[in-house]
A and B are shown apart, each in its own frame.
Chain A
Amino acid sequence: MANSVMSDHSSVEPSLWSGLTAVMKRDLLLAFRQRSDMVNPLFFFVMVIALFPLGVGPEPATLRMLAPGVIWIAALLSTLLSVDSLFRQDFDDGSLELVLLSPQPLFVVALGKVLAHWLITAVPLICVTPVLGIMLFMDGNTLLATLYSLLLGTPILSMISAIGAALTVGLRKGGVLIAVIALPLYVPVLIFGTSAVEAAAMTLPYVGQLAYLGAFLVLALTFAPFAIGAALRISVNTR
């Protein structure tokens, strides 16, 4: 991909949109060729949620009460787990350096990679949530709120953890470090995500919480790509 961008440079400058789609297409293709990256975070998500009833007991009332927190924390951890590999392969085989040299601004590349990562890891997770919600005895309205809040919240999680991944990509002990860096930054998303679901469980309106999540999403989409880009440049320069 990087090569084609480089050769295009002489004739006509590729548009931002073509840069974004090229990065996304490449990452999605790689993920579909190597499905374990896609499937493992999903398995992790399902397993963590399945372990909770074993830990706290199978009473429907308890599980219904814990469900929003459990689903959100499992989603958060599986994002964290999968994000470690977001830039690692590209960093190891050197293609990240070529991407940095390409005429596309870095934030476009960062945005493309994070969006692809979200499509690969978070969307399947949202798709299986209804099944898990039924297993945790959630009712229909609550389940719907969970889906909405995950739909708005998981891209923010991907953005934040991508900053952590970009900062630690050059280090051998990346995994735990990303968790230490990113987890405190997840707090607002977790609070508004779970409180939307809790409001729905009490049949209260939850549009307000979703609106806040939407605002955070806009903020993250606007600023995080720049932070990711700056972090990638630092990581690659000190290699």
Chain B
Amino acid sequence: MLQTLKRLYHQFGSPRYFYDITGRMLPWLVAAALLLLVPALIYGLGFAPPEKYQGNSYRVIYIHVPAASIAMSGYFMMAVAGVIVLVWRMKMAEMVARAIAPIGASFTFICLVTGAIWGKPTWGTWWVWDARLTSMLILLFLYLGIMALNAAIEQPQAAARATAVLSIVGAVNLPIIKYSVEWWNTLHQPASITMTSSAIDPEMLITLLTSMAGFYCLFAVLVIMATRCEILRREQRSRWVRSLVTEAVDGV
């Protein structure tokens, strides 16, 4: 078990192996994302039963909830990658962490925008200074800070290690921020779905979960594609990247 883990760690730590294996995985992931997302979104936005009180406006949850979930778990993944960067100095973790930041920020932004679109018909305003909205906004600021620091440091390894420190500090702070804004002001409804029970109709739930799985596949596709670009950029002097590029040029 430990041996396999160790081997996997070393394999995925090598940019070349990562590039090869993700190149083979990518078409499957894209297909999975499309197969899950397209039906879930068409059904959710068009055909799922309307909600009892909110009518059709609730349908935005099929985008809003997955985006919110990815925004938070993306940050968590970045912090975990940050720990790996600082402790084991793994090059691939540096690249993955760098790739996640803008994508996570985009999902946070999507979550805020869809929330505003839902809030207008339901709460009557685009924005309220409610705890969850505010902590999501601050999460976006944290992402932006990390992206700014990443962009400001030229040397890639130093940038990765500095942002690793920052994302870990942010991850320690996030629960405190979340808790303190909740204490400050709250209006948002509590989560309707927990691990064990759900307060929503099974038809909606299945659509939501499918859409969630689809969005996670999409997130994986985006992160992998961004990481592959980063690999090519950072390993541009290595022989395998050069031969890859010359092959591609010759092939055209």
* Cα distance A167–B170 in the bound complex, in angstroms: 14
CB-contact partner of A163 in B141, B158, B165, B183, under 8 A: B165
Report the nearest B residue to A237, measured CB to CB.
B158
In the complex the two chains form, is B166's CB within 8 Å of A167's CB? yes
B side interface size, CB within 8 A: 29
User: Quick one: given A177-B148, A235-B162, are A184 and B176 in contact (CB under 8 Å)?
Assistant: no
User: Quick one: given A171-B153, A191-B183, are A238 and B158 in contact (CB under 8 Å)?
Assistant: yes
Give chain A nearest CB distance to B111 CB in angstroms. Answer: 16
**Which residues of the other chain, A, contact B166 by a CB distance below 8 angstroms?**
163, 167, 181
Say whether chain B's binding surface is mostly helix, strand, loop, or mixed: helix
In the complex the two chains form, is A234's CB within 8 Å of B161's CB? yes
Report the nearest A residue to B157, measured CB to CB.
A238
User: Quick one: given A185-B173, A191-B181, are A168 and B149 in contact (CB under 8 Å)?
Assistant: yes
- Is B152 an interface residue when CB atoms closer than 8 A count as contact? yes
* Cα distance A192–B183 in the bound complex, in angstroms: 9
In the complex the two chains form, is A188's CB within 8 Å of B176's CB? yes
**Which residues of the other chain, B, contact A188 by a CB distance below 8 angstroms?**
173, 176-177, 179-180
In the complex the two chains form, is B180's CB within 8 Å of A227's CB? no
Which B residues are closer than 8 A to A by beta carbons? Answer: 86, 138, 141-142, 144-145, 148-149, 152-153, 155, 157-158, 161-162, 165-166, 168-170, 172-173, 176-177, 179-181, 183-184
15 A-B pairs in the complex with CB atoms less than 8 angstroms apart: A167-B162, A168-B149, A180-B141, A180-B144, A181-B145, A181-B149, A184-B142, A184-B170, A184-B177, A185-B177, A187-B138, A188-B177, A230-B86, A234-B158, A238-B155
